[in-house]
Structure 1
Amino acid sequence: MEPLNLPAFDYKVKHVNGKPYIFDIIRKKYVSLTPEEWVRQHFIHLLITQYKYPKSLFAIETGMRYNKLAKRTDIMVLATDGSPFLLVECKAPFIKIGEAALAQISRYNFTLRPTYLAATNGMSHYCFQAIDGQVHYMDDFPVYGV
């Protein structure tokens, strides 16, 4: 996998039938190592190590419904009361974070109403705060509990 614009971390990879799998510390299992998963694992570790997010509040690939369609969130961090705090949409490094990705996370915002939204492809990262129906761009990600 290619280097990302995210801090490196100590990861575990194994091969099953010639295919790579990476250990996910949240789901506590090995998952298929796709380019998107590479980004997701880096971002999870960033949130835990630099922004102090507790592992116990993460939900990975959580199912939800939007206009009767089944959808999955890439990373959701919950507040201590169980409400959505941060929702992160991860894309493969070669996928540009453009209108399509931002529209996707906006749809999730409409349903889940997290305090913060983020999108990353491992190279570019964007964070927003939703306040009273308005979305405000942030210079950095929020530190948990501050």
Structure 2
Amino acid sequence: MIADRYAYLQTSLNFPEFDFRIQEDAGKLSIFDSLRKKFLILTPEEWVRQHMILFLIHYEGYPKSLFSLEKGLVYNQVQKRSDILVLNRTGSPFLLIECKAPDIILSQKTVEQVCVYNKSIQAPHIGITNGLKHLFLTFDNVIDQYVQVGALPKFP
């Protein structure tokens, strides 16, 4: 029964395999977030977010001390939360990533969502992932718009 409700856990994401701590309580699954040091409800989006966090830390060398997760922001007087924000070594925003469930298709609308969030955060790099596909964009000051780049920005 639980396996049916959590079929997304069987989906092969476009990440290396990680050993997650998952627990069940009252029919709900939770995953341990190693950055926040607590268990979180395991939603499809959280499954993708936890993969991306570990990928950035263990494969790309992003320092875990510079992550800010679910940072609150206000846009058009509405409270929003970004998924993953990585700061640079001076504490300024470096990379903002929006995570979607694996069954969500990455589209212009999903890219626009992370662009809207970034209006208040002002990170030079943004990304969006559903765990299967990953899109990264960098702000080009010359043409005053984001341009898609072929890979994840290297941490400076």
User: One fold, TM greater than 0.5?
Assistant: yes
Tell me which residue corresponds to 1:94: 103
Aligned to 2:146: 135
Kindly tell me the number of residue pairs found equivalent between the two proteins.
Answer: 145
Q: Does 1:70 align with 2:79?
A: yes
Q: Which letter does structure 2 place at the counterpart of 1:20? A: L
Match for residue 119 of structure 1 among 128, 139, 152: 128
TM-score relative to the length of structure 1 = 0.96
Would you tell me which structure has more strand in proportion to its own residues?
A: 1
Runs of 5+ consecutive residues of structure 2 not aligned to the other structure: 1-8
Q: For the Cα contact (< 8 Å) 1:51–1:142, is it kept in 2?
A: no
In the alignment, the residues of structure 2 paired with residue 140 and residue 13 of structure 1 have an alpha-carbon distance, to the nearest angstrom, of: 30
1:85 maps onto 2:94 in alignment: yes
SS in 1 for 2:112: helix
Equivalent positions of 1:7-86 (< 5 A) are 7-86=16-95
State how far apart, in whole Å, the 2-side matches of 1:110 and 1:35 are.
26
1:3, 1:22 → 2: CA distance?
Answer: 17
Query: Could you say which residue in structure 2 is the equivalent of 1:108?
Result: 117
Secondary structure at the counterpart of residue 73 of structure 2: strand
CA RMSD of aligned residues (A): 0.9
**One-letter identity of the residue aligned with 2:139:** A
> Which runs of at least 4 in structure 1 moved beyond 3 Å after TM superposition?
none
Q: What SS class does the counterpart of residue 23 from structure 1 fall into? A: strand
